[in-house]
Structure 1
């Protein structure tokens, strides 16, 4: 493993990285007769969040999620009601944590890292999605791109967290299962730790940096980060 500068702060993506979006599949099965439409919807959601940011616009992620659901439904000639959209938003706010999340976070906290979250989702009143998932207390802070008015992977979103934590971006490592999030964080000066989830892979093309850490197991990924920082100290 190449020698890396130590980091003090680990920044976690939330949706799909920590919380299991597969729990939305029954809704898509009911609406479209195919649970895999979830993946089409989620990919379109990310595409249009980035399009909105590149266009100098902003709308809350929940509203965008509902709008993209209607768009996918229209493309497939499926009727979607306001109740369906409300159900989607409710389910997004109640997703459980992946089973290995709590042990991995606990290990990283015990190693001395500061842990924070950075999500495209807007802030929500208590109980928040992370509180419902039982992992909110394992973090030292929670941040939303809503405070920046730009979606990840815009550089300003990562800099916002660095400023709030009073560290440099080089002191941070972004942990995510979306390679676009890792690439954006690395371009902003962070390290990147990629957790492999279904339907998410590394982008292997020239001139695009590879993640500093990568694993299909979050506890193993935590051990890699701990080992690299211990070796660097």
Structure 2
């Protein structure tokens, strides 16, 4: 068996971000192509969505992620002088709830589950009626629990989000490893005491600057990242 990674306490539970880490947000691009004539506007919209979700938390306020998603779409439309209809917002929300899994996800989850880890998710999205996005993507059976920040009304990377997962599972945060393709998520998780595993999906890369926590594990492939987590935790 591989040895535990030096300096790390072995974890029992792997916590997965959902949107973009597990589910492919590039499937939203046709909507942005239709509305704006440019699929790359999706990235602008998503960056603004994250910015304003975190702004709400820093300001001590809360609006569910889906409502913010629609509002930010309208804001981007106003910025570009492109009218956004109620049907456009409804289509966006429908597409968000039906994103497929990336090809590397199921094999990676299977490896971690077979290695004995408990698998859960933690998403900024609110709970949804069945079938959930994970059920539609064929991933729900891999996870023992699915957590939403809606329960604490604070968006990641607020420490309360990661602490909620640990407390609900009767664990400490250092029993958790956060897997995400957003560095702000692994930074927040590590600040809360978790391990951080960073997945470099397209348009998501490391930020190397003084004082910025670097993840314990990193890869551009979730299967490889999972193997690193297994080896680093002595499983």
Q: How does 1:57-96 map to 2 (within 5 A)?
A: 57-96=61-100
Spell out, residue by residue over 1:52-83, the C-alpha distance to the aligned partner (whole angstroms, 9 max, x if none). 00000001100000000000000000011000
Between the aligned partners of 2:81 and 2:66, the Cα distance in structure 1 is: 22
Q: Which residue of 2 aligns with 1:210?
A: 214
Q: Which residue of 1 aligns with 2:133?
A: 129
- Gapped regions of structure 2 (runs ≥ 5): none
- How many Å apart are 1:229 and its aligned residue? 1.2
Q: How does 1:140-151 map to 2 (within 5 A)?
A: 140-151=144-155
Q: How does 1:111-130 map to 2 (within 5 A)?
A: 111-130=115-134
Matched, 1:222 2:226: yes
- How many Å apart are 1:208 and its aligned residue? 1.3
- Gapped regions of structure 1 (runs ≥ 5): none
- How many Å apart are 1:3 and its aligned residue? 4.1
Secondary structure at the counterpart of residue 230 of structure 1: coil
- Contact 1:3–1:228, Cα closer than 8 Å, also in 2: no
When normalised by structure 1's length, the TM-score is 0.98
Secondary structure at the counterpart of residue 134 of structure 1: coil
Q: Which residue of 1 aligns with 2:102?
A: 98
- Contact 1:66–1:88, Cα closer than 8 Å, also in 2: yes
- Contact 1:172–1:190, Cα closer than 8 Å, also in 2: yes
Q: Which residue of 1 aligns with 2:57?
A: 53
Cα RMSD after superposing both structures: 0.8
Q: Which residue of 2 aligns with 1:167?
A: 171
**Poorly superposed stretches of 4+, deviation over 3 Å:** none
Q: 32, 38, 62: which one pairs with 2:36?
A: 32
- How many Å apart are 1:2 and its aligned residue? 3.8
When normalised by structure 2's length, the TM-score is 0.97
Spell out, residue by residue over 1:131-187, the C-alpha distance to the aligned partner (whole angstroms, 9 max, x if none). 000001100100000000100000000000001111100010000000000000000
Q: Which residue of 1 aligns with 2:187?
A: 183
Between the aligned partners of 1:226 and 1:3, the Cα distance in structure 2 is: 15
Between the aligned partners of 2:99 and 2:199, the Cα distance in structure 1 is: 18
